Chains A and B, each alone.
Chain A
Amino acid sequence: MSEKLVIIGNGMAPGRMLEHLFEQAPGRYTVTIFNAEPRVNYDRIMLSPVLSGEKAFEEIIIHGDGWYIANDITLYKGHRIVAIDRQAKTVTSDHGVTEPYDKLVIATGSVPFIIPVPGHDLPGVLTYRDLDDVQAMMLAAQSRSKAVVIGGGLLGLEAAAGLNAQGMDVTVLHVMPTLMERQLDPAAGYLLQRAVEQRGIKVITKANTQAITGNGKVGQVELADGTVIPATLVVMAVGIRPNSALAKQAGIAVNRGIVVDAGMRSNDPDIYALGECAEVNGQVYGLVAPLYEMARVAARQLAGDEAAAFVHMDTPTKLKVTGIDLFSLGDFAEGEDRQEIVLRDAAAGVYKRLVLKDDRIIGTVLYGETADGAWFNDLKKKQTDISEMRDTLIFGQSYQGGAPLDPMAAVAALPDDAEICGCNGVCKGKITGAITAKGLTSLDDVRAHTKASASCGSCTGLVEKLMVLTIGDKYNPAAVQPMCGCTTLGHDEVRRLIIAKSLKTIPAVMQELEWTTSCGCAKCRPALNYYLVCDWPDDYADDYQSRFINERVHANIQKDGTYSVVPRMWGGVTNAAELRAIADVVDKFEIPMVKVTGGQRIDMLGIRKEDLPAVWADLGQAGFVSGHAYAKGLRTVKTCVGSDWCRFGTQDSTGLGIRIEKFMWGSWTPAKVKMAVSGCPRNCAEATCKDVGVICVDSGYEIHFAGAAGLDIKGTEVLGLVKTEDEALEHIVALTQMYREQGRYLERIYKWAKRIGIPEIKRQIMDNAEKRKAYYERFVFSQKFAQVDPWSERVSGKDKHEFRPMASVGFAQAAE
Chain B
Amino acid sequence: MNWISIGSISDIPRRGARCVATPEGKVAVFRTQDDQVYAIDDHCPHKGGPLSQGIVHGTAVTCPLHNWVISLETGKALGADEGAVRTIPVRIEGEHLFIALEALASRAA
Once A814-B104, A815-B105 are accepted as A-B contacts, the answer to whether A808 and B55 lie under 8 Å apart by CB is: no
Contacting A806 at CB < 8 Å: which of B20, B48, B53, B69? B20
Contacting B55 at CB < 8 Å: which of A525, A807, A810, A815? A525
Once A522-B62, A522-B67, A805-B26 are accepted as A-B contacts, the answer to whether A545 and B14 lie under 8 Å apart by CB is: yes
Are A806 and B7 interface neighbours, CB within 8 A?
Answer: yes
Are A809 and B23 interface neighbours, CB within 8 A?
Answer: yes
Residues in B with CB closer than 8 Å to A801 are: 11-13, 18
Tell me if A519 is interfacial: C-beta within 8 Å of chain B.
Answer: yes
Tell me if B84 is interfacial: C-beta within 8 Å of chain A.
Answer: no
Tell me if A811 is interfacial: C-beta within 8 Å of chain B.
Answer: yes
Residues in A with CB closer than 8 Å to B49 are: 561
Are B23 and A546 interface neighbours, CB within 8 A?
Answer: no
Residues in B with CB closer than 8 Å to A522 are: 54-55, 57, 62, 67, 69
Tell me if A521 is interfacial: C-beta within 8 Å of chain B.
Answer: yes
Tell me the total A-B contact number using a CB cutoff of 8 A: 105
Residues in B with CB closer than 8 Å to A805 are: 18-21, 26
Contacting B11 at CB < 8 Å: which of A544, A559, A806? A806
Tell me if A549 is interfacial: C-beta within 8 Å of chain B.
Answer: yes
Tell me if A387 is interfacial: C-beta within 8 Å of chain B.
Answer: no
> What's the least CB distance linking B70 to chain A, in Å?
11
Tell me if A813 is interfacial: C-beta within 8 Å of chain B.
Answer: yes
> What's the least CB distance linking A338 to chain B, in Å?
54
> What's the least CB distance linking A485 to chain B, in Å?
10
Q: For chain B, residues 30 to 52, give those with C-beta under 8 angstroms from any C-beta of chain A.
A: 33-34, 47-50
Complex Cα spacing A816 to B98, Å: 14
The 0/1 profile, CB within 8 Å of A marked 1, for residues 47-81 of chain B is: 11110011111100010110101000000000000
Once A807-B21, A813-B4, A815-B108 are accepted as A-B contacts, the answer to whether A546 and B12 lie under 8 Å apart by CB is: no
For chain B, the bracket of interface size reads 35 or more
> What's the least CB distance linking B19 to chain A, in Å?
5
Are B62 and A814 interface neighbours, CB within 8 A?
Answer: no
Residues in B with CB closer than 8 Å to A553 are: 53
Tell me if A215 is interfacial: C-beta within 8 Å of chain B.
Answer: no
Tell me if A749 is interfacial: C-beta within 8 Å of chain B.
Answer: no
> What's the least CB distance linking B40 to chain A, in Å?
14
Q: For chain A, residues 270 to 290, give those with C-beta under 8 angstroms from any C-beta of chain B.
A: none
Are B57 and A807 interface neighbours, CB within 8 A?
Answer: no
Once A522-B69, A545-B56, A815-B108 are accepted as A-B contacts, the answer to whether A810 and B15 lie under 8 Å apart by CB is: no
Are B108 and A806 interface neighbours, CB within 8 A?
Answer: no
Complex Cα spacing A553 to B19, Å: 15
Question: Could you give 30 example pairs across A and B, Cβ below 8 Å?
Answer: A517-B57, A518-B58, A519-B33, A521-B62, A522-B54, A522-B69, A525-B55, A544-B13, A545-B15, A545-B56, A546-B15, A549-B55, A549-B64, A553-B53, A557-B64, A557-B65, A561-B53, A801-B12, A801-B13, A805-B26, A806-B7, A806-B12, A809-B21, A809-B23, A810-B23, A811-B108, A813-B4, A814-B4, A814-B108, A815-B105
